[in-house]
């Protein structure tokens, strides 16, 4: 899943298969033609800013569901660490285990010689193309606006 440069808006999103914190398999391409996908890359479980960021998605979960959108958190933490984080904060969405950092690499989210995950959010439309990329910690309301602005055929 290695890429020479990170994907850009309009590119097809790099496909991946990953386990969730519940040991369920997720393959990105399974959502094509069915749902939009939001990938939230964040550095670590149970850190103050990461917790706040993911709680903001939890608190707007119903709005994401109403737009036919699946949300996944992504970082290299273990399944058990993710499971504890989800249970502690009652996240209704899955956290993907990226222990080999293959997803983070494919999306250009690694920094400091691959030791740190750069915070960012990717919106993938129903065709499987990257519709928008946000660096940092965008508000879920802004992401929802972008989803609602997508052409209906995506």
**Domain ranges for the chain:** 37-65+80-133+144-154
| Gap between the Cα atoms of 144 and 87, Å rounded | 25
Yes or no: say if 73 and 96 are a contact pair by the CB < 8 Å rule.
yes
DSSP assignments along 69-135, one per residue? EEEEEEES--HHHHHHHHHHHT-SSEEEE-TT-HHHHHTT-EETTTTEEPPEEEEE-TTSBEEEEEE
Point out the residues that are catalytic.
50
53 and 40 in contact (C-beta within 8 Å)? Answer: yes
- Is the distance from CB of 78 to CB of 101 less than 8 angstroms? no
Residues in the chain: 154
Query: How far from the centroid of its chain's Cα atoms is residue 21's Cα?
Result: 14
36 bridge partner residues: 69
For domain 37-65+80-133+144-154, give the CATH number: 3.40.30.10
**pLDDT of the residue at 138:** 97
Arithmetic mean of pLDDT over the chain: 93
Give tens-digit pLDDT for 95-117: 999 999 999 999 999 987 667 89
For each of the chain's 154 residues, which pLDDT tens digit applies? 444 578 999 999 999 999 999 999 999 999 999 999 999 999 999 999 999 999 999 999 999 999 999 999 999 999 999 999 999 999 999 999 999 999 999 999 998 766 789 999 999 999 999 999 999 999 999 999 999 999 976 4
Q: Which of 32, 30, 50 is nearest to 41 (CA)?
A: 50
Strand pairing partners for 28? none
């Amino acid at each position: 899943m290695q890429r020479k440069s990170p994907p850009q808006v309009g590119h097809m999103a790099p496909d991946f298969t990953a386990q969730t914190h519940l040991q369920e398999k997720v393959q990105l391409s399974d959502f094509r033609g069915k749902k939009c996908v939001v990938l939230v890359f964040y550095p670590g479980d149970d850190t103050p800013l990461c917790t706040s960021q993911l709680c903001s998605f939890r608190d707007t979960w119903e709005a994401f569901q109403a737009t036919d959108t699946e949300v996944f958190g992504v970082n290299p933490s273990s399944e058990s660490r993710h499971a504890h984080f989800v249970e502690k904060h009652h996240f209704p969405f899955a956290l993907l285990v990226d222990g080999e950092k293959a997803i983070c690499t494919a999306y250009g989210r690694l920094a400091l010689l691959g030791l740190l995950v750069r915070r960012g959010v990717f919106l993938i439309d129903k065709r499987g193309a990257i519709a928008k990329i946000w660096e940092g910690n965008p508000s879920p309301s802004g992401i929802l606006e972008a989803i609602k602005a997508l052409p209906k055929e995506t």
